[in-house]
Chains A and B, each alone.
Chain A
Amino acid sequence: MVEIFGIPSQALFGQLLIGLINGSFYALLSLGLAVIFGMLNIINFSHGAQYMMGAFAAYLLLQYSGLGYWPALIIAPILVGITGVIVERLFLQWLYKLDHLYGLLLTFGLALILEGVARNYFGSAGLPYTVPESLQGGRNLGFMFLPNYRAWVIVASLAVCFGTWFVIERTRLGAYLRAATENPTLVRAFGINVPRMITLTYGFGVALAAFAGVMAAPIYNVSPQMGSELIIVVFAVVVIGGMGSILGAILTGFGLGVIEGLTKVFFPEASNTVIFVIMAIVLLVRPAGLFGRRG
C-alpha cells in the first residue's frame, strides 16, 4: 500500500472526504454570513444562535407536531427566517447608517439572549435527534465507510451553495440586490422596493443558518451552545475568504474543512487552532482576505 507521510493513502482519502463534509457545514454557514454582510453590511453575530434555532426547531417540530426530518428541512428554515425578518424590521434597519460595531453588538446581544433562553428551557446537555430512516446506513467505498447521511450533507450543501451563488451573481434579482448595496437611492429611483429586498435578504441569510442547523441535528449534539462553538470558526472562514465575498466563503469553507481534517490526523491537538493560524497568516499577507476586493 502506498503511504503518504506515514499514513496509508487509503486512510488519507477517507480523511480528505471527511474534511470535505465538515467543510460543507462551514460553507453553508459562512455563505449566510457573507450574503448578509455583502448586502446589508451587518456583521451577523447571532448567526450561530440562528443555526442552533434551526436544530431546535427541527426537534420541536418532531416532538410536538410529529413532523420528521424532511418536512423540518423546509419548515424550520422558513420559521427561523421569519424571526430574522422580524429582527431586521424591529432593530437592524435603524443601524445601516451607523458604524459596523453597532450591528455587531446588537446581534451579539441577541445571540446571548437566544442561547440563554434555550439553556433555561432545555438545559445544556442536549436533545436527542436521530438520522432519518431513509438515510440510515452507509456504503463501503473501499477506502472508508461513508454513511449515507454524510453523502447527503455534501450533496445538499453543494446544491444550496451553488444555487445561492447563481441567484446573486447571475440573475436579474441578484443584479438588483448588488446594485442596491452599491447605490440604494438610484435603485429606488427605478421603482424597486429596496428596504423590502434588504429585509428578505436578511431573512434568507438567517434561513440558511437554520437550514445548516437542521442538517446538523442528526449528527451533532443539539444543545444551546452548538452555535457558539461553531460560529467563531465560521467567522474565521469568512475573514479568510474575504468579508462579503460569496464565492470566497464557499471555497474557503470547503478548503478549511479539508485542512482541519488533515490536522486531525497529523496533529489532532491543534485541530481547533489551525484555522486561526491560517487566518493570522492570511490577514498578514492579504488583509482583505483571499477573495476579497480591496476597498
Chain B
Amino acid sequence: MRKTLGLAALAAVLACGGASAQQVNIKIGVLSDMSSLYADIGGPGSVAAAKMAIADFTKDNPNVKVELISGDHQNKPDIGSQIANQWFDVDKVDLIIDTPNSGVALAVSQVASQKNKIFIVSGAAASDLTGPKCNANTIHWTYDTWMLANGTGTAIVKTGGDTWFFLTSDYAFGHALERDTMAAVEKAGGKVVGKVRHPLNTNDFSSFLLQAQSSKAKVIGLANAGGDTINSIKQAAEFGIVKGGQSLAGLLVFASDVAALGLPTAQGLVLTETWYWDMNDVNRAWTKRWQQERQGKFPTMIHAGVYAGITHYLKAAVALKGNVSDGKAVVAQMKSMPTDDPLFGKGTIRADGRKVHPAYLFEVKKPAESKYPGDFYKVRATIPADEAFRPLKEGNCPLVTG
C-alpha cells in the first residue's frame, strides 16, 4: 500500500515537472564533406553554423540540451550511409543535417526513412529529394536543382541565350541539374544542342570546352559544382570562349567559388542563390559571428540553411515536449508550423518536404565595383517564394500524389 502511494506521489511530481520545463535532450549530427571539393561550401562552416543555431536556441530555452557531432562522408554514398546507420543506431542521433553531394544525400535519405529518423538537407541539390525519391523523414531546406535551373536558365534564355550546350558532372546531382535546366530552357523557348558528361573532380576541361566551342551553342551551361566549376570557368576564359561570343552559365556557383576564381575571371557571371551574406544587416551581423570561427571566409547559403534548419527543428522538438523518437511525427510537426528565422524570414515546408522561400538572381561584380573583401554580387532580380521552387504537383512525390 505504502509502495503504491509512493509511486503515485512520484508520478504526480513528474507530471508537474513536465508541465513547467521539461528537460529535452537532442543529438544532432552534421554529415558533410570535411576534406575535399565541397568542404568550403559545407564542411566545417556548417558545423560552425550548427553551433550558432544551438547556442541561440538554448539561450532562450535553457531546458533544451543539444549534443553536436560531425562526420566526413568523403563524397562516397556507401561511407555516408554507413555513418548515418551508425549515428542512428549506436550513437542515438536524432537529426542528420547538411550533406552536400546529392549521391550521398539520396543514400542518407533512405537510411533516415528506414530508421524513422530525420534528415534535413541543406548542402545537396538534386530536386529528386522532394520528387520521386521524397519521403516523410526528409526536408530539403536551402535550394535545389529545379530552383537553380528556373532562376539562371530562364533568365538567360530571356536575354537571348537560346541555344545551350551542357558540361555535366557525371553523378546524381549533375544529371538532375542538367535535366531540370533542359526543361527550363525548352519551356522558355530555347534549344539544347549538345552535352558532355565528365567525371567528378576533373582537372582539365579543355577537351570538353573545345567540344562546346565547336557546337556553336550560345550558352555553355555548367551543370557541375565546386572545383569542377572553378576549373571550367578558369579554362573557358583561357580558351577565349567568352571573347568568342559564347557565354557561360554557372548553374551552381557559391560565394566561395567566386573567391577562388577572383573577380577578374568571374565578373559578369549570372547565378542564383537563396541567401547572400551581404544582403542586409541581419545577414552581415550573423556573418560576423560566424567568422569568429571561420576567419577570413564567407558563409554560403548552405551554412545559412544549416542554421535555419536546426532552429526550426528545435522549435518543433520543444512543441512536441522533447518526444522526438518518432521521426515522421517530428517532420509532420515541422511541416505544420510556419518557419521563421532571422536568415530566411518567414516561410513554410510543403508536404513533399520542400522548404519554400524567395531566391535571388545575382550578377558577379566587376573588380572596380567591389569595395571590400567578400563584396561579390549585385542583385538582378528577386524570384518570389511561390515561383522559386517546382510546383508541388509537378514533382511526382508519392507523399503528394498518394
- The answer on A and B forming one complex is yes
Q: Which residues does chain B contribute within 8 Å of A130, judged by CB atoms?
A: 262, 264-265
A290 beta carbon closer than 8 Å to chain B: no
Which residues A252-275 have CB closer than 8 A to chain B?
Answer: 261, 264-265, 268-269, 271-273
Q: Is A50 an interface residue (CB 8 A)?
A: no
Q: Which of B45-65 contact A (CB under 8 A)?
A: none
Are A126 and B227 closer than 8 Å at their CB atoms?
Answer: yes
**Which of B38, B226, B260, B265 lies at the interface centre, i.e. has the most chain A CB atoms within 10 A of its CB?**
B260
Stretch at the interface among A10-18, A166-174, A242-250: A10-18
Interface residues on chain B, size class: 35 or more
Q: Is the CB of B260 within 8 A of A126?
A: yes
Contact with A along B115-152 (1 / 0, CB 8 A): 00000000000000000000000000000000000000
Tell whether, in the assembled complex, residue B210 and residue A144 are in contact, meaning their CB atoms are under 8 Å apart: yes
Q: Which of A11, A21, A119, A273 has the most CB of B within 10 A?
A: A119
Closest A residue to B235 using CB positions: A219
Within 8 Å of chain A (Cβ to Cβ): is B353? no
* Cβ B238 vs Cβ A124 within 8 A: no
Q: Is the CB of B265 within 8 A of A264?
A: no
- Cβ-based interface call for B345 (8 A): no
Given contacts A11-B210, A261-B207, contact A271 B261 (CB under 8 A): no
Contacts of A220 in B (CB 8 A): 203-204, 231, 234
B39 within 8 A of A: yes
B230 and A221 form a contact (CB under 8 A):
yes
Cβ of B40 within 8 Å of any chain A Cβ, yes or no, is yes
User: CA separation between A189 and B88, bound complex, in Å?
Assistant: 67
> Which positions 103-129 of chain A face chain B at CB distance < 8 Å?
116, 119, 123-129
A272 CA / B260 CA spacing, docked (Å): 24
Q: How far is the CA of A95 from the CA of B397 in the complex (A)?
A: 60
Q: Mark B199-217, 1 if CB is under 8 A from A, else 0.
A: 1011110111011011000
Is A201 among interface residues, defined by CB-CB distance under 8 A? no
In the bound complex, residues from chain B placing their C-beta under 8 Å from that of A156 are none
CB distance from A81 to the nearest CB of B (A): 24
What residues of B have a CB within 8 angstroms of the CB of A144 in the complex? 210
Is there contact, CB below 8 Å, between A145 and B226? Answer: no
A221 to B199, CA, bound (A): 16
The answer to whether the Cβ of A211 comes within 8 Å of any Cβ in the partner chain is: no
Nearest chain B CB to A147 CB, angstrom units: 5
Which residue of chain A has its CB nearest to the CB of B196?
Answer: A268
User: Would A18 and B206 count as touching, CB distance under 8 A?
Assistant: yes
Chain A residue total in the interface (Cβ 8 A): 43
Which residue of A is nearest B204, CB measured?
A: A22
- Interfacial chain A residues near B92, Cβ < 8 Å: none
Question: A123 to B256, Cβ gap below 8 A?
Answer: yes
In the complex the two chains form, is A225's CB within 8 Å of B36's CB? Answer: yes
Given the complex, which residues of B lie within 8 Å of A119, measured CB to CB? Answer: 35, 39
Are B197's CB and A128's CB within 8 A? no
For window 136-150 of A, CB contacts with B under 8 Å fall at 137-138, 144-145, 147, 149-150
Chain A residues lying within 8 Å of B198, measured Cβ to Cβ, are 264, 268-269, 271
Bound complex: CA of A112 vs CA of B43, how far in Å? 18
Shortest beta-carbon distance from B143 to chain A in Å: 18
| Bound Cα distance from A56 to B199, whole angstroms | 25
Q: How far is the CB of B94 from chain A (nearest CB, A)?
A: 29
Rounded to whole Å, the gap between the CB of B108 and the closest CB of chain A is 21
Known: A19-B207, A124-B37, A264-B207. A272 touches B240 (CB 8 A): no
| B226 & A125 in contact (Cβ 8 Å cutoff) | yes
A15 to B170, CA, bound (A): 21
Whether, in the assembled complex, B375 has its beta carbon less than 8 Å from a beta carbon of chain A, the answer is: no
- Contact in complex: A128, B262 (CB < 8 Å): yes
B41 CB-CB contact with A under 8 Å: yes
- Taking CB as reference atom, which chain B residue is nearest A233? B203
Take A128-B262, A225-B37 as given contacts and tell me if A272 and B202 are in contact as well, using a CB distance cutoff of 8 Å: yes
Instruction: Report whether A147 and B210 are in contact in the complex, using a CB–CB cutoff of 8 Å.
Output: no
20 CB < 8 A contacts A-B: A11-B211, A119-B35, A119-B39, A124-B43, A125-B40, A125-B41, A125-B256, A126-B230, A127-B260, A128-B261, A138-B240, A150-B238, A218-B238, A219-B238, A220-B203, A220-B231, A220-B234, A229-B203, A261-B207, A271-B202
User: Which residues of A does B touch, CB under 8 Å?
Assistant: 11, 14-15, 18-19, 21-22, 116, 119, 123-131, 137-138, 144-145, 147, 149-150, 218-223, 225-226, 229-230, 261, 264-265, 268-269, 271-273
Q: A124-B36, A124-B39, A125-B230 are in contact. List 6 more A-B contacts (CB 8 A).
A: A19-B207, A125-B41, A147-B238, A220-B231, A221-B231, A221-B260
